[in-house]
Structure 1
Amino acid sequence: MGRARVFVRLLLSAALVAPAALAGTGTATAAAPRIPTLVGIRAAHHPTYDRVVFDFTGGVPSRHWVRYVSSLRADPSDKVVPVAGRAVLAVTMSPTNAHTAAGVSTAPARVAFALPNVMTVVRAGDFEAVTTYGIGLAKKDSFHVFTLRHPDRLVIDVRSTLRTVWKKVWFFNQRRYLANTEPFFTPVLRPVRPWTPATGVMDRTFAGPTAHEYALGLRRLTSKATGFTRLRISDGIARVQLTGGCSSGGSTVTIAGEIMPSLRQFTTVDHVKIYDPRGRTERPWGHTDSIPECLEP
């Protein structure tokens, strides 16, 4: 358990001492305070910043910690939670829940945005009135945090003065697949940094579709991969290695259907070779497309 997590536990324990001590004195104990509930996450671009808003009912969390981390950690397992982007801003809020008393989630576990800097928000913990999310960014930059009431919300403004260009990112179209109507992958537009557009496109692939796109049937196919590395383009060939895992699950549609058209849109790319986490692909040589064996049906 991380030091930040232990600190949160100590604060919560201290807050519970006073009511417990009063119970034996004959003094009437006050009703337990209502814990704020996270009910939504939204984001929008403004002239110089991207604003991420966490919406609550029942007040706002009395404590919050926002900081850059090298990796987002799940609470309480401490396992790494993959977050797409070049930087991760961790947001811990307490006391608050992101679920009902019956355990039904009240806020999304993952949501993507087509903004210049903010690309995704991913939940890492909702445990014992402590809720943690990671914000995936295109670039690490300064930020400002504050709370607002009526309605209750925690606001994070991340500086966003990046110059971007629009590129296509392909996602799996579940509706077309179920209707057996090709093509099964649909392009959407995303802002990416012009000097690293291929990296930007791959980051947006792993960030996934926006809420609106999801409602239209678009899905993020990862084929067990959690990210990518060693992306390079030379001699008309784009090469990229998956990280985490790799499995088609026996399906004829995989992450390759997202990656290949997304990278082939660049004029310098004629073919795409995808490698598994161990650096293997079926056709490593020659001017031809290639996927690893783990992506075969």
Structure 2
Amino acid sequence: MKAPWKLWSLLVGLLALAAPALAVTGPAAGVRATSAPPTPVLVAVRATHDGGTVDRVVFEFRGGLPSKRDVAYVERVFADGSGRPVRIAGQALLRVRFEPAQAHTDDGQPTEAPRRVAFGVPNVLTAVRAGDFEGVTTYGLGLARRTPVRMTTLQDPPRVVVRVGADFPVVMRHVWFFNRRRFVENREPFFVRNLRWVAPGAPATALMDRLFAGPDPYERARGQRLLRSGASGYDDLTISNGTADLRLTGGCRSGGSTVTIAGEILRTLRQLPTVDRVVLRDPAGHTLDPTGPGDSTPACLEP
């Protein structure tokens, strides 16, 4: 009576030996885990003028090019995530989006790509980052005027180039910025001038746009800053009978200082042959001496 049990034990043993071989057969055999491709990392943003009719804004990446890239004119640029409008100087705005892309390292540190940078080319005034959020990187470009735009790519290193038309006449004028280094060292002048391209048809507007775009990297390295005094921009700029009249937007405060944004604006506008005096108003439209013979500034810029 023990023979059947021996046969049963032998059968169970044979099945156990066969089980590993059976386990590797079937559709799952040979499947390998794959990792997602690395996200391209934005490492630089710069602009050049080709000497003819085009400004080129170059976005340089490490780790390849983003698979999705687009550029479009928009009325406003909004921050990714918060949805708040982004402050960008200029008369026309381009939104540039890359996906997947990031402007930070894998450990969360920012790359060399600037958050905000001014350029010295004829049409593109500035590039401002509007987002580095969930694999999407967005920039806004502030332009002097709306012109044709085209996007191309280059390799070695990977680059996306936004080509912006600049086929219009320009002249050289000065923009004054606050030199923090000279101020700390108590070496006047505290406001220094820098050359900029501006369209001759509306030089006052062009100069204010250049001013609010801020100093370029070369100027910043030498201590120059846009002294905002709480303002985010300007509006209602007119020139009549030798008087340039404009209103600050966003805010207005001196912080108790004797140097304010008025020092930049008054010097920048008074270089124009059509401007003898400047009336600068606070966001509510108030100024201290709007009808007097000299320049007028708002009370919020008093020390």
TM-score above 0.5, yes or no: yes
Residue in 1 that maps onto 2:5:
none
Please give the per-residue CA displacement for 1:239-268, whole angstroms capped at 9, x wherever unaligned. Answer: 111111112222221111110000010122
Cα offset for 1:83?
A: 0.7
User: Is 1:66 aligned to residue 71 of structure 2?
Assistant: yes
Supply the RMSD in Å over aligned alpha carbons. 1.3
Q: Which amino acid aligns with 2:44?
A: G
Equivalents in 1 of 2:108, 2:29: separation in Å?
35
Structure-to-structure mapping, 1:1-80, within 5 angstroms: 27-46=31-50, 47-80=52-85
User: Is 1:110 aligned to residue 116 of structure 2?
Assistant: yes
**Unaligned segments of structure 2, at least 5 residues:** 1-27
Q: Which amino acid aligns with 1:197?
A: P
Q: 1:25 to 1:133 in 2, by over 3 A?
A: farther
SS in 2 for 1:96: coil
Q: Name which of 152, 165, 172 aligns with 1:166.
A: 172
User: Is 1:193 aligned to residue 199 of structure 2?
Assistant: yes
Residue in 2 that maps onto 1:18:
none
Equivalents in 1 of 2:218, 2:49: separation in Å?
16
Equivalents in 2 of 1:86, 1:231: separation in Å?
13
Q: Name which of 79, 88, 91 aligns with 1:83.
A: 88
Residue in 1 that maps onto 2:282:
276
Cα offset for 1:197?
A: 0.5
**TM-score when scaled to structure 1?**
0.90
Structure-to-structure mapping, 1:132-211, within 5 angstroms: 132-211=138-217
Cα offset for 1:26?
A: 8.4
**Unaligned segments of structure 1, at least 5 residues:** 1-23
Cα offset for 1:82?
A: 1.1
Q: 1:168 to 1:128 in 2, by over 3 A?
A: same
Q: Which amino acid aligns with 2:160?
A: L
Residue in 2 that maps onto 1:220:
226
Cα offset for 1:116?
A: 0.8
Q: Identity percentage over the alignment?
A: 53
Q: Which region of structure 1 is more displaced relative to structure 2, 50-59 or 144-153? A: 144-153
Q: Name which of 271, 288, 301 aligns with 1:265.
A: 271
Equivalents in 2 of 1:221, 1:103: separation in Å?
30
Q: Which amino acid aligns with 1:292?
A: P
Residue in 1 that maps onto 2:250:
244
SS in 2 for 1:154: strand
SS in 2 for 1:290: coil
Residue in 2 that maps onto 1:123:
129
Q: Which amino acid aligns with 2:91?
A: R
Equivalents in 1 of 2:41, 2:253: separation in Å?
37
Is the Cα–Cα contact under 8 Å of residues 237 and 287 in structure 1 kept in the other structure? no
Residue in 2 that maps onto 1:14:
none
Is the Cα–Cα contact under 8 Å of residues 97 and 130 in structure 1 kept in the other structure? yes
Q: Give the paired residue count.
A: 274
Equivalents in 1 of 2:29, 2:91: separation in Å?
55
Cα offset for 1:188?
A: 0.2
Equivalents in 2 of 1:39, 1:161: separation in Å?
29
SS in 2 for 1:147: strand
Is the Cα–Cα contact under 8 Å of residues 118 and 136 in structure 1 kept in the other structure? yes
